[in-house]
Amino acid sequence: MGKGKINSQMKTVFDAFKERPLTMLMTSEVTGIRTSNICRYVAKWLKEGEIQLLEYTICEISKKNAGYYTTDRNLFK
């Protein structure tokens, strides 16, 4: 996969988390990007302070406990 496609995917994922808090699975469903890629992006952004875990509760899709993340700085705690 080329670097341009990765940057494009990262922007798509970042923007999805900015629209509303989502789990990684929900983000995958919205964007069509594999959850494994989203996990890598989230790990990178957590280290950089670009994303924040807002709450850990039931995912709307899996119905299991999962983290809801946001890149919207207005929602950061």
| Position 1 pLDDT exceeds 60 | no
d(CA 25, CA 17): 12
* Domain, as residue range, for 53: 3-75
Q: How many domains does the chain have?
A: 1
Q: How many CB atoms lie within 10 A of CB 77?
A: 6
**pLDDT confidence of 27, banded at 50, 70, 90?**
very high
Question: Model-level pTM greater than 0.85?
Answer: yes
**CATH number of the structural domain spanning residue 10:** 1.10.10.10
Write down the pLDDT at residue 75. 96
- For 51-75, how does the pLDDT look when each residue is reduced to its tens digit (9 = 90+)? 999 999 999 999 999 999 999 999 9
Q: What is the mean pLDDT of the chain?
A: 94
CB 63 within 8 A of CB 27: no
Q: How many CB atoms lie within 10 A of CB 31?
A: 17
Q: How many CB atoms lie within 10 A of CB 44?
A: 12
Q: What is the largest CA-CA distance in the chain?
A: 35
